[in-house]
Structure 1
């Protein structure tokens, strides 16, 4: 592409000038380098939809940059115009027909944000809420979970919050039979668990706690013991990482005891994983190891096709990653490093948050083993992915790695370069992620 030839580049330059934003400031908002942004503005590089969406948000372009980044003729069915508002219900259905991927997730997220949820139509039309309407909401929750795999909590927080509010309105104001009421309560519990996860991922820890508790209550009222246990064990995971670790063990054990017989093997294994992690954070090596052994035994019976919607992601690699994390937490790097390296090798950069986080654990294990050079390489890749992850958790882990590397004696030049990069990331994120 020749310099200045792209309509996207022209519009980007116009917006930067009209907003009075420097390339340095824009780099801080978007986590892209100044040189990359300059290449985009000069037309030397072509933006992806994800890049266009991030720049559009940072510059308040109202979708203009996203529209200019779309290849003519591609994804035409996703475009929303004023004339299509009357077909909003049909569009809402369309949003759940595409499986989110690294290529379409950003565009899908944008469309989701500007499209009214079908729950609003049910109420405005005065319809009696039936099983078909609830099934549509369940499909949307599954789609939101998969969107979050690619775009991170900072992007999905508004979507999930709006979906939860619309579904709660339907529960309060709608007309339905008792069986539909119970089903609505369960889907609200599922949304609360997801809302808690994305709230935590975007730095809203207090909100996350409340969502998990609300989800547990909704699931209990709806008669879904397994979903209630999932919300409780999610809360234990948050507390293990950010709160009272002893309380986390109590919550994880309660969730496991109460939910293990109510769910199938995948959900059972997930409850055990969170119990293993809570014990590891308390330094209870024997109990953590016992829980990991139980995970291995239970997971042999897992069938992801039959897994509950909240456990679809628990693949064999995810089980391996948690084992590696537990061994890292227990400071057993000789066990942790090969497990983490093997699992991470099968992850691509299309899930930047997860891969960045898992690389951070590999970095920590390598530091424990005294392998500073290898640790810095892994940490550098973790930073690069964190720049596009849109996750406060990923940024916080990078900052934690920085503190670990500062404590290393006889640091290398590569280690100092990582510290500079991680400081830039943390400074840029400090005023950008958590406050959205």
Structure 2
């Protein structure tokens, strides 16, 4: 059977390569490499060449067949259609939790695939990728101060534009790999803000696309960050029974590839997943792993996205875990100490952390202090535009409702319900 390049040369007989390149909107040099079978066209480019050469679907079918089996490369298989599928995954139906578990297991045993150059469009260089990387970090830091309700449109637009570069530009293997890593990081940011805005199905889809993008770029830690972020979401808003498997898979998969600080972050999410399923021993063991990993940290080894994890954040998670497990004697002192260092400038985070302190105080039967703390958390949540913060305040309202008649509680409930 003739190859795609052979068929394209046969159909082009009598026409110049430059003329067909013009009709198909492709660089002539790129078309020359396709005809020499040194490059494989994307499905879109194959269809354009089919139309320009009057192939009656023959070229499109050859391109489809060429993508059925992966190309064997040094680091593993990566196909032109893999790029298509990765980009298309950002607009597909939401995977189920069962799909996510399967993906986690596949990711753990698969060799990282090696990137081929994108085969059409303009060429981009390292400078473009550096700008993308800086923009991702800017969006990540912005999320420290602004809730997902304000930022999800901005971040998802950025993701769409960056995925467009992957799909439509030409670049070297090194640049392409960095672009995939940046897309993986951007997927994690997008998933986080989508979840924070209450768009859970979209967040799950984006997280899974991020696992694939990061893994394709050779960024095992970035893939793990996406996977454990999905585990965190499922623990909070989905079926929490699936969360420990995903969280442990992320930690195990990154164990030999990630910095100590990154592993501490991944272990935190394991602890939280166990807490949400009521498994106190698993949660306590994971909290011990957090401390052990963090004690081994070397900041020079860390990816930029773990900048926010410090001892205070680790204490906050420990306090949340013990609150979730209804251990207020352990939770209250930790959360009081940790939240004392947070200001109103980080409105959403402070509101969330204060909500856990308030809940632990309710468990300890410190009702007045719980209501005072809940009132401060409520006022901060009003500025945050965060579905997560709103859900936490709603939960406090329900828990404090049984203490009607207490003046401090009544003040909080009246303020809370008047804003509903």
TM-score, length of structure 2 as denominator length: 0.70
Tell me how far apart the structure 1 counterparts of residues 367 and 233 of structure 2 sit (CA, whole Å): 29
Q: Are the aligned partners of 1:129 and 1:176 in contact in 2 as well (CA < 8 Å)?
A: yes
Q: Aligned partners of 1:282, 1:367: CA distance in 2, in Å?
A: 21
- Given the alignment of the two structures, is residue 269 of structure 1 paired with residue 267 of structure 2, yes or no? no
Structure 2: how far apart are the matches of 1:411 and 1:318?
Answer: 35
- Equivalent residues in 2 for 1:174-213, closer than 5 Å: 174-213=169-208
* Aligned match for 2:408, one of 399, 410, 414: 414
Q: How far apart are the structure 2 equivalents of 1:399 and 1:382? A: 11
Q: Residue 246 in 1 paired to residue 241 in 2?
A: yes
Partners in 2 of 1:310 and 1:150 — Cα distance?
Answer: 15
RMSD: 1.3
Aligned partners of 1:320 and 1:340 also within 8 Å: yes
Size of the aligned set, in residue pairs, is: 300
Query: Which whole-Å CA distance do the structure 1 matches of 2:345 and 2:374 have between them?
Result: 18
Q: Is the 8 A contact 2:316 2:334 kept in 1?
A: yes
User: Whole-Å Cα distance in 2 between the matches of residues 300 and 323 of structure 1?
Assistant: 16
- 1:219: how far off? 1.1
Correspondence for 2:371 = 376
Find the aligned partners of 1:219 and 1:175 in 2 and give their Cα distance.
19
> Post-superposition shift, 1:307?
2.2
Q: Using a 3 Å threshold, how does the CA distance of structure 1 residues 222 and 424 change in structure 2: closer, same or farther?
A: farther
Asked if 2 retains the 8 angstrom alpha-carbon contact of 1:333 and 1:368, the reply is yes
2:374 match: secondary structure: helix
Query: Residues 273 and 291 of structure 1 are in contact (CA less than 8 Å); yes or no, is this contact kept in structure 2?
Result: yes
Match of 1:296 in 2: 291
For residues 324-343 of structure 1, what are the structure 2 equivalents within 5 Å? 324-343=319-338
Give the conservation status (yes or no) of the 8 Å contact 1:209–1:235.
Answer: yes
Q: Deviation of residue 127 (structure 1)?
A: 5.0
* Residues 304 and 312, structure 1, Cα contact 8 Å, conserved in 2: no
Deviation at 1:181, TM superposition (A): 1.2
Shift of 1:305: 5.2
Kept in 1: contact 2:355–2:396 (CA 8 A): yes
Partner in structure 1 of residue 360 of structure 2: 365
Offset, 1:225: 1.1
Larger radius of gyration: 2
Gap change, CA 1:411 and 1:274, over 3 Å in 2: farther
User: TM-score, normalization: structure 1?
Assistant: 0.67
Matched, 1:223 2:218: yes
Corresponding residue SS for 1:129: coil
Instruction: Note if 1:423 corresponds to 2:397.
Output: no
> Post-superposition shift, 1:392?
1.3
State the secondary structure of the residue aligned to 1:150: coil
> Displacement of 1:340 after TM fit?
0.6
Q: State yes or no: 1:160 paired with 2:155.
A: yes
Task: Report the Cα offset of residue 303 of structure 1.
Answer: 3.9
Q: Distance in 1 between matches of 2:275 and 2:300?
A: 30
Task: Report the Cα offset of residue 383 of structure 1.
Answer: 0.6
In the alignment, the residues of structure 2 paired with residue 306 and residue 355 of structure 1 have an alpha-carbon distance, to the nearest angstrom, of 29
Per-residue deviation, 1:424:
3.5
Structure 1 window deviating more from structure 2 (304-313 vs 354-363): it is: 304-313
Unpaired segments ≥5 residues, structure 2: 1-120
Question: Equivalent residue for 2:307?
Answer: 312
Task: Map Cα deviations across residues 8-55 of structure 1 (whole Å, 9 max, x no partner).
Answer: xxxxxxxxxxxxxxxxxxxxxxxxxxxxxxxxxxxxxxxxxxxxxxxx
Q: SS in structure 2 opposite 1:155?
A: helix
Deviation at 1:238, TM superposition (A): 0.2
Where structure 1 has 5 or more consecutive residues not aligned to the other structure, the ranges are: 1-125, 428-436
| Cα pair 2:358 2:371 within 8 Å, conserved | yes
Q: Give the conservation status (yes or no) of the 8 Å contact 1:292–1:323.
A: yes
Distance, in Å, in 1 between the alignment partners of 2:318 and 2:164 is 41
Provide, for residues 340-396 of structure 1, a one-character-per-residue CA deviation record: whole Å limited to 9, x for no partner: 111111111110000000000000000000000000110010011111112111111
* C-alpha distance 140-280 of structure 1, shift in aligned 2 (>3 A): same
CA contact (8 A) 2:122 2:168 kept: no
Residue 145 of structure 2 aligns to a residue in which SS? helix
Q: Give the counterpart of 1:285 among 270, 280, 285.
A: 280
Return the offset for 1:301. 1.9
Q: Map Cα deviations across residues 48-86 of structure 1 (whole Å, 9 max, x no partner).
A: xxxxxxxxxxxxxxxxxxxxxxxxxxxxxxxxxxxxxxx
- Equivalent position SS for 1:196: helix
- Aligned counterpart for 2:391 among listed residues 396, 405, 409: 396
